[in-house]
Structures are given as C-alpha cells and as structure tokens.
Structure 1
C-alpha cells in the first residue's frame, strides 16, 4: 500500500474550507440584506398588506324552534321559502359596484332598483332602514317571497346575475291555526342590534350579527331556548376580500320547541267573541255622551283556576305578526305604531291599565272583614251617600235597604262600600291622621297582588296602581308645581281640581277613599291581575304566577323541561270569608247583576260565579269589565269605552264558556261540542325523531261553534283526534262533581233574564 504524506492533502482541504466559509458568509450577507430590506426598508408597506389578511365568518342560521299550543298545534314555526340573496363582496368587485346587476335583479323580482340597492347597503349610525345589519361576507337576503319562476330565471341566467343566489331557506311563519291570531302573545322577530351583541358577548348565549331575536311576547321571553345556535364557517381572506383558506367550521344546532298552555281553538273563540262584543258595543247608544260607544280597545284572559296557566289571551286591536317576517316595510311599521291604529302592538291583557270598577269590590269586601266588619251584618244600601256636602250616588240610584256584604256583592251596591270606606278613613284620623293609619283597604289591594307584576312569563307587563298614601305623596311632589300654576279657585272643573291638588294633593281625602272602595279614582289594574285574583278565589286562595309556557322540548325530543306553576302568595282572607265570597259571587250569576247573562246555564253541573264592573273615566266613556270563574277556569274581559260590564262584555264571556263546556242555548251540555271541558294536563306526544304530533284543527272553531249552537251539532274537530295524536284533556264526571263549599240543592235553579240592576 502506498502511503500519501498528509502534507500533500492539507493545502487542498484548507482551500475547500475557505471556499465554503466564503459561500456561507455570502449567503448570510444576502439573507441579512434581504431581511433588512423586508423588515426595515419595506416593513411598513408589508405590515399594512398583512393587516388586510384576516379571518371572516359566514353564518348558517339555526332553525328556530316552534311555538306550539297545548295539544301540539303549531302557532309559530318555519316554512321553506325561495330566498334570493346577493353577495356584497362579489358586487363590490364590479366596476359599478354591482348597480347594473341589482337593476336586472329588481326587474326580475318586480321591485324598484332603489329598494334592492337599499337592501344590500350596510347599517350604521347614519343609514336608516332598510339596510343589512349582518356580516358583509355572507349573502344578504333581498326577498323571501320569490316565485319558482323568478328563481329559475336567476339560476338559468347565472352569467347575468353574478353573486346572486336563489335557494330554499327556512323562514319564520305565524300559522294562525283555525284563524287563531295570537299575535301579542307570540310577538315577532327582528335583527339583533350592535348594543345587544356587545352586551351578550360574555354570556352563555352570545349573539351573531346575523341573528334574529325576539322583540316581544313569547319570542322574546323564550328567545334563548328557541334561537338555537347558528353554524359558523370561518374563512381566511385578504385585504381585497378574496378567500385564501378555510379555518374551521361549526355546524348549526336547531332551537328547542316551546309547548304553551294556549289552546288554539279556545284562543280563536276568545278573539272572535271579543271582536264581536266590541262591534256590538259600537251599535249601542251612550246616553251620557249622546253618541254610540266607541269600544276602541279590549282584552280577554282565559286562565286555569287551579294552576294559573293561560288557555287564551286576546287583545284588540290586533295585527298580523307575519308583517315582521323578512323585515317590515316602512308603510307597515307606520300603520302598526301610528296613533290612528290605536297601537295594536300593545298586549292589553298585560299592558292595558284601567280603573276596575265594581269587580274590585272583592278586594274591598276582604278589607272590610279584616277591619272587623261582620260579613253577615246589616249595611244600608241607600240610593246615595253624602260626605261634606258631596253626594255619591248608587248605580241608577237603586235602594236595596239593609243587606249583608254577600248581597252587596250580588247587587253591586256602591253605597255600602262608600260607608265602610268612609268609616275606616275616619278611624284612621281623617285627612290629618295621627300615628300610622291601618289603611285596611289599601293593604288588602297589595295583599291581593295589585300594584305589582303578576310574574307572567311575557315581557313588559305593567304594574297597575294602588293609590295609597305613599303614591299620593310621590305623585303630589312630581306634579304640585304644575297644579299650582294652572289651578284656579272657582274656575273650570279641571282648574278647580288642580287648585285643590296644589293645596292638599298629598293628603288622603274622604272622597279618595270612597271612590277607591268601588274601584274608581286613581286605581288602575290590568286584566291579567284581575284574572289571577278571581282564579285564586276559585281555587281556595292561591295566587299563581300566570304562565303561558308549559314545557321546553329539545330538538331531538329527548329532553322535556316542564314549566311548573308557581305561586306568589295567598289571598288575605280566612277560609270562612272565602267561602262566603264564593257563594255571593255565585249569587251574582244566578240572581244578581250577571243573572240576565247566564239564563239557562247548567248551574248544578257547572257552578258559575261572576262580578260585573262599569268604571267611569274622566273625559271618556265607561269601561266595561266582566270577571267570572268556574271550578276550572277564570275568564276576565274588558272593553275600553264599551259601556256596562254585563251589557258589553257579558254575552262574549258567556259564549266562551259555552264553547269550553259545550253548552247549548237550551242549557244542555253536549260533550262532543265541548272544546275543553277540563284543563289539558298532558303534554303533546313527541315522536322518536323529535317532531311533535299535532291534531288537526278546523278552519274556524269560533264560527263552527256558532253554527253548532244553533242546530245542536258538534263542530268538525270537536274531541275527535287523529290516530297517534295526544290524548284528550283529563275529564271527570260532571254529574258527581261539586264545587268547593257548595250548599245542597234540591234541583236545578231557575235563572232569570231580568233587567240589570247594578254595574
């Protein structure tokens, strides 16, 4: 083997190492120079470009849960419509920002070009509706009422409509089954606002910009349950809006379904009868104002006496909640909110306040007994009562002589309550009380739940008003400057009242307490409050929080969360007093002020209890009130400027009871005609796929009930449910049922149809 001396290889290795070092150094210098160029020389420019690369999200709306009646009939659900949408990103890539494309689209859809252009502009503080409040990176709906022909034109001529799509989507629908509108109870939807998004960021149910949220009614109250969770696909886009990659995607989760205690058939009857009663009242002559009654608004509540669940709730004037679907037009919005429409968006069952008139006397009766007056004592029902030179008259100046409190309720004797209230006012120290007054009459109203919310599961309930001493003081402090400025001694009626209020408007005067005792003066109540009170009298004294929601059912049907009845107190009366009041209110329906409206009613089978009320309102016609209950239901109706209680509201309430129990004009009970002879206890049947079984409902239960009542035949749907539907309501034998505390009877009581004697 030949050995090569190491000295021969060393120069070549060293040369190679030097060359490598030079190359490495050159590369490092080049890289360093390039980094300097990018980071220092061009750093600001590239940073600006990089800031345009970000993630945008495209939202797939969740299918909103349905709102169902107690038997599973949809009151609000979703329907598939052809929705035409435009991509704002694609439009802005065009030289004219898509103006020509939108003009063509408007022509196909039969819309004005300006109307379509306004749909795709983004909302901000300076841009009025209509505008788009959602993400600019997702398709913006132009219309959800496209026809199949219009959609076909758009899809076949895709080259003429770049960025425009026409495809089926789920859209909210208010079904009005059997003509049951239920608008104020259901509410409506509209796009979420920036403020709402900001407030909900840290909650368990944050909003997305594309969300539709409930604005009133059940849609608002149960929004988080109904809304579900939208699906979100996140895209990486550059500063020009071009998609450069997909980051991640979350599937949409549908909302839960809400089962209510509303029965669509009874709801329709309640709406129909309220409207008919108002139309009838407008034909009646008001001898006080020398014109027909205006009957401009009204409400009715049908409630389960033993649970507080609402079976029907109607408010008039009414509106179509479908007007809000897809965005309300300026014309429709003006018609719903203008003064001439009398504000149909108001739910007058929970937001309408008025003096209650004589239906308030159950509160005054309880107060009198609590103050120590004997229920069975003798009280003078004179034709009038005088205080300090002022005469307070009984209704139509009736004089019934010496009567007890039960009879005072039956004939609605005002002067008995005037005397009791005045006596207590004097015991409390009169206009200048010493110490702390007992104020039995005002305390009773608070204990009955007045002056505060009932707790119903609907938003924006009002409290009404109990004009006690604290309220008088607060009201006087807020208004005394205006009263002192406009008041005038010896002037007009309004000026004299202002003058007196300026001097002593914070003091409880005798007239204040006298008027208060019969539900007049400054007292204000709502129909739902009075329905709750009369239901409590019916059930033995429990004041329930009224509820419309009955259960929340998960989308897959596997989880059912029932909404249990809850109580907020007991009536401040003994069992004995409650029984005595119960018997007196039965007397109202059989021989008192409501007897002429319940002639022929099967009193032995279904004991009826009632109280009429006619409230005077300064500057307006009288308010009609009719409060009633049976063992099962409490029904209260009121009509603003409608006349007397039994005269205007009485027939409608009787007709609702006839429909519930299947009572004919002759007084016979026909179970086949009965819509709901006992409250619905069971929930609708849920299929394995999560859908809910819904029975069929006739086209118009109210009109069919009218027709059946005349010819004695059962309406089309009656209690005949399709195979596989929810079971009928739990019933029992009416022949053997007896009301709480009922006194024995030898046979059916003959009911008179005599003329009304009191309010």
Structure 2
C-alpha cells in the first residue's frame, strides 16, 4: 500500500515539473510577444511620423538643378537684368557609387570634353595620385598602417603623412590626359548624393554637348542640361546697385553661409551676394526641381520621376526710370568735364539722386569717381554708402529746428554781421563779410547766411548772440535739439532704403565743443549721404513728411513668357515721421528755397531761374581738406515744380577748388528737370 502511494506521488511530481516547464516557456513566449507588440506600437505611434519623414527624405529629393532667377525691370517694363541660357554638363552621384566608378566615368568623359586645368592644386594632384595608385600608396604606408590599426595615429594623420610622402616627381608624372580626368573627377566629387553637380558650364561647345548627349548611356550619372547667366541689356548702367550673383562653383559665399543655410539652401546654390540681388533674394530665387527616386536594395537608382518641375524666380520691377538714369549719367559726365576744364582737377566724386518726393520712388541714382586723369568709374552705390560734409544745403533744416524750439519765429529778422567771441573766434557769412545787413529767415536761405544760422543755434542753446560773448561751455543739450530737428527731415539718420550697407553718416560728439556746434548749423560738422539730402529736400517739398525711399516697386509672378505676371506685392514708401512744425513754418522754408533759385541774388539763380517748370531749392559749399590742402564740397538740392512738386534731387561734388572763381555745378539739376518734364511727364 505504501509502495503504490509512493509511485503515484512520483508520477504527479513528474507531471508537475512538466507543467512548470511548459508554463515557463509559455510565459517567455507571452513576454516576447508583449515586447514585440509594445515595440511595434512605439514604432508606429510614437515614431511613425519620424520614419515616414525618413522615407520621404530618401525618396523625394529637392534637386540642386540651376533654376533661372527672376528678371529685374524698370518702372516702364524695360528689362534691366535678364537670364542668358548656356549649355551645361552635370553629374549626379548615386547612393552607392564608389570612387573607382566615379573615376571610371570621369575617364570616359575626358575623351569627350576639354577642361580648364589651371585651378588644380597640389592637394588635388596628391589625392588623385593616391586614387590612381592604391597599391603603391599602401606599400609606402606599411608602418603607418600598423600605427593606424592599433590606434596610435588618426585617419587624418595617416592621410596627411601619405600626402607628404608623395614626391614632386610622382606628381609631375601625371600626364595632360591625367589632369583632364582629374579636373572632371574633382568636380564630380564635389557634389552631394543625388544632387546634380555642374562639371562644365563655361564655353561648352556644341560638339562637346552633342558628343556627351550621344554617350549618356555609357556615362552613369552624367547629363546634359541648360544653365544660365545674368545678362545686362543696359551694360554698366546701375551695375553696382543691381549687385552680383555667385557662380555655380562659388556657391554660397563664406560670409553668407550661416544666413543662407538657415533658410534651407544648399552650399552650392547660386545666390544673390550684394545689393539688389542680395536684398531681394527671396523674390528672385527660383524654386528648385523636386525628384522622386526609386532605389533597389543595394541603393542603386532604378527609376526617377519629377515631382515638381521647379520654376524661375519672380520678377522685380524697380522704381528706377532707366531712360532717366542714363540721361542723368550723361548730364553728370558732361558737367564733370566742364568743371575739370574750369579748374576742378582734384574733384574726385560726383553723385546725384532723383526721386519722387511724394511716395519715395527713387527714379535715378548716379555716382562717378574721378581719377586724376579724368577717367570715370561708376560709383552709384556711393549715393547711399558714402557720406560727405555738405555745407549750407542743410540750412532749411536748421531753420525748422529753430522754429521747433521756439528760438526764432516765422519772418524774424536778424542782423547779418561778422561775429566775434571772447576766445578770439570769428564767424561771418560769405555774402557779407564785413558789413551789417538786416535779413529775415527767407532771405537768410536766399543769401545762404551763415550768421543767421549761427544766431539761431545760439538761441537754441539759450545764449543769444552779443559781441565778444563767451560761447556756452556745454552744448550737449542744444546739440541734441538741433540734431533732432535735422533728423526729422532725414539728416543724420538712415533713410530706410531697401538696399544693404546704407550709412547714417558720421555724427561726432557734441558737449564741450561749441565751435563745432555752430558749424553743425551750417552743414560743416556732421556728414550725410546724397540719398539723405534727397530725402531731406523731399520732406520740405511735400510739406513735412519724411518718406522712406525705395528702389523696389512691384513683385510679379513668374511666367513662361516675356510678359509680366500678376502683381504679388507692391513696395510702398512708408511715412517715417512728420516734422514737428506748423504749415506756416514749412511754407517759410519753401519760400526761401524759391528765392534761392529764382531771385537774382539767390545762390542757385544762375542754373535754376529758367527751368522748364519753376523749381526751388538750396545750394551748399563745405570747407574740406584733401591731402592737407583746402578744398570745397559743392552741393545742390531742389524740387520741381514749386507747386505740387513731382521731382526732387540732390547733387554732391567733392574736393573742388576753393572759390574764387566759383565753379557752378548746378546745371545738371536744371538739365534733369528740363528732360523730365519735357520728355517724361
């Protein structure tokens, strides 16, 4: 009995052990299954979008194929910047393409095209020699290879040592044919995977283009396409302001890399790198082609499809009138020759800005740099990037500042007389150097009275003039008040034009230098740009509104035709501020400007009294030094017609001879007014 019970117990024990084993195995299976389910859920739910994006990125590729930029036209629809097509040969590297395969393709291609080899460096030759002689390279580096394998040196150190071991004789052994292959191979290696890289797009002959096109099936990754270059139907006109585009080899310039990469550009994209091309890059750049590539398991491309064909950039219409621009250049060049013939042999700059005073449209921007022999270099960008002492042209702004600070009243009379101060400083006006003449504010502008402005500045400082008085010791507050008035009309502050690199001028400190404070009142201390002068006179002309100038006018949708597409955006001149003056005060300055141009005693009478439509404005002469010798800058600002002005201008000549004789350069302003209202309006 006991024996049977014992045997039964063993059977049960065996069954129990088996059950435990089965349960354990089942538990493991359940656990593994749970892990798999959780993992699948994590991948599908938490990481699903991530992996979808990876798949999308690997299949849908934005191709870095050269897309023409948008055109740039003048306000009348005349094309100033266009695109000229040219033949191009490109290479697209596959995901699994080896260097030896690329070299093989380069060798085949070298039989069909001729490359420029001048830019090949010794480093290029070293890398290419290693590629051509792998076994020799390995034999030269047996010791270094063992050091690399045990971690004693890095791969970078290994490569540098190998390059240093290659002798000049070995490099010189590369034949002309080798260098042709190298020139092609170097360009092919510069591109990213699945990203077309230009091999040659300069001087591609029709024979080369045809030969490569016929052999494409034997040249994996190579393609023939059409590239483009910027062309300029008006030659050098506005060339500096239009700016430049980087070449396909240059890609993104180093100094702009961070800016453009942050916007999703590729390093070898062609981009605007200066002035208008840079300022309106987002408008002018085209939309690159997008391709969908299908690859096999090895990563080789087996099919491709265009997802988005891409398009050229949008068109930019400028406020510039290119006919007026060219005419202004012509008039200014004639004036330069005339002034040089009259003695201005050291004059080195002549600049002019023409604009609509009511909306900020810049109609012409002309600048010329003048060499000693009289040869001219375009300096249009100097109209907003260079600053000069401009002299008495600023006196309208000085009067407005005087009115603003209740230092003078409309129509107030003062005695123009030589001023003497206790420290021996003496000041006077050019039109009246030793007498006493009673004049009002309008006459002060007509005669260009320095004394009236000095006395106004002293009143702003709370120290009206008395003979032999002490100048105020601290004029920091007075300087702020005067400059604030000048800033309100656009002097000493950036105009806000839609171009990079604008300068605000040179604004020096004013605190314990009262003599400089007096000079500020007549334009002899701070420096301003010709564009600031144009904005200033426009503010006077339009009854006190400082308007932001702009050279862009409209942005149009790109079309496949020569005609402009629909308007996408209009560039408007924003009102930046209105001067803190009454209309009577502005009227008084306008009447003074009228007298300066149209009264026989006015400083601008000689050039402007007989313009096609009545004009008004102001002249200026600033004392400067060139190479330690005294010279003068001559300036002219004006607008026309006097009632309802439609045109405003500024002119600056630098380093003319000290009068006398007086060299009049205002005729170019008269000529522009006459041309505009006879031929354009």
| TM-score, normalised with respect to structure 1 | 0.62
Aligned match for 1:622, one of 632, 635, 656? 632
Alpha-carbon distance in structure 1 between the residues aligned to 2:637 and 2:281: 33
Question: Does the alignment pair 1:520 with 2:524?
Answer: yes
Structure 1 residue 309 displacement after superposition: 0.7
Write the mapping of 1:239-258 to structure 2, written as runs, cut at 5 A: 243=301, 246=304, 249-258=307-316
Alpha-carbon distance in structure 2 between the residues aligned to 1:72 and 1:386: 60
Aligned match for 1:544, one of 547, 550, 557? 547
Deviations 1:18-69 (A, max 9, x none): xxxxxxxxxxxxxxxxxxxxxxxxxxxxxxxxxxx97776323333211111
Contact 2:293-2:301 within 8 A present in 1 as well: yes
Question: Does the alignment pair 1:508 with 2:512?
Answer: yes
Paired residue for 1:452? 493
Alpha-carbon distance in structure 1 between the residues aligned to 2:590 and 2:100: 76
Paired residue for 1:651? 667
Structure 1 residue 239 displacement after superposition: 12
Contact 1:119-1:142 within 8 A present in 2 as well: no
Aligned length: 533
Paired residue for 1:182? 238
Paired residue for 1:348? 382
Contact 2:418-2:426 within 8 A present in 1 as well: no
Aligned match for 1:67, one of 68, 72, 77? 72
Alpha-carbon distance in structure 1 between the residues aligned to 2:332 and 2:125: 43
Write the mapping of 1:115-194 to structure 2, written as runs, cut at 5 A: 135=192, 137-148=195-206, 151-152=209-210, 167-176=225-234, 181-190=237-246, 191-193=251-253
Contact 1:361-1:518 within 8 A present in 2 as well: yes
3-state SS, counterpart of residue 597 of structure 1 = helix
Contact 1:298-1:639 within 8 A present in 2 as well: yes
Alpha-carbon distance in structure 2 between the residues aligned to 1:422 and 1:120: 74
Alpha-carbon distance in structure 1 between the residues aligned to 2:330 and 2:475: 53
Flag the 1:260–1:599 CA change in 2: closer, same or farther, 3 A: same
Contact 1:625-1:644 within 8 A present in 2 as well: no
Paired residue for 1:565? 573
Alpha-carbon distance in structure 2 between the residues aligned to 1:239 and 1:314: 62
Deviations 1:449-473 (A, max 9, x none): 3332211111221112444xxx44x
Aligned match for 1:416, one of 434, 444, 452? 452
Question: Does the alignment pair 1:293 with 2:346?
Answer: yes
3-state SS, counterpart of residue 617 of structure 1 = strand
Paired residue for 1:7? none
Deviations 1:260-317 (A, max 9, x none): 111110011122233333344334425xxxxx2232x332111001111111112334
Write the mapping of 1:450-599 to structure 2, written as runs, cut at 5 A: 450-467=491-508, 471-472=509-510, 507-521=511-525, 523-556=526-559, 557-590=565-598, 591=600, 592-599=602-609
Alpha-carbon distance in structure 2 between the residues aligned to 1:644 and 1:439: 31
Aligned match for 1:361, one of 371, 375, 395? 395
| TM-score, normalised with respect to structure 2 | 0.68
Structure 1 residue 121 displacement after superposition: 13
Structure 1 residue 561 displacement after superposition: 2.1
Aligned match for 2:360, one of 299, 308, 314? 308
Question: Does the alignment pair 1:600 with 2:610?
Answer: yes
Flag the 1:91–1:587 CA change in 2: closer, same or farther, 3 A: farther
Aligned match for 2:319, one of 261, 266, 271? 261
Paired residue for 2:328? 270
Alpha-carbon distance in structure 2 between the residues aligned to 1:228 and 1:159: 30
The structure whose Rg is larger is 2
Alpha-carbon distance in structure 1 between the residues aligned to 2:123 and 2:241: 32
Paired residue for 1:641? 655
Contact 2:68-2:312 within 8 A present in 1 as well: yes
Alpha-carbon distance in structure 2 between the residues aligned to 1:265 and 1:598: 22
Flag the 1:150–1:369 CA change in 2: closer, same or farther, 3 A: same
Flag the 1:445–1:100 CA change in 2: closer, same or farther, 3 A: same
Structure 2 unpaired stretches of 5+: 1-56, 128-159, 161-185, 465-469, 560-564
Flag the 1:198–1:611 CA change in 2: closer, same or farther, 3 A: closer
Contact 2:533-2:650 within 8 A present in 1 as well: yes
Structure 1 residue 418 displacement after superposition: 2.4
Alpha-carbon distance in structure 2 between the residues aligned to 1:586 and 1:219: 40
Contact 2:546-2:578 within 8 A present in 1 as well: yes
Alpha-carbon distance in structure 1 between the residues aligned to 2:549 and 2:398: 23
Alpha-carbon distance in structure 1 between the residues aligned to 2:286 and 2:617: 44
- Aligned CA RMSD, in angstroms, stands at 4.1
Aligned match for 1:372, one of 407, 417, 421? 407
Contact 1:613-1:644 within 8 A present in 2 as well: no
Write the mapping of 1:696-711 to structure 2, written as runs, cut at 5 A: none
Structure 1 residue 102 displacement after superposition: 7.8
Contact 1:213-1:223 within 8 A present in 2 as well: yes
Structure 1 residue 202 displacement after superposition: 6.5
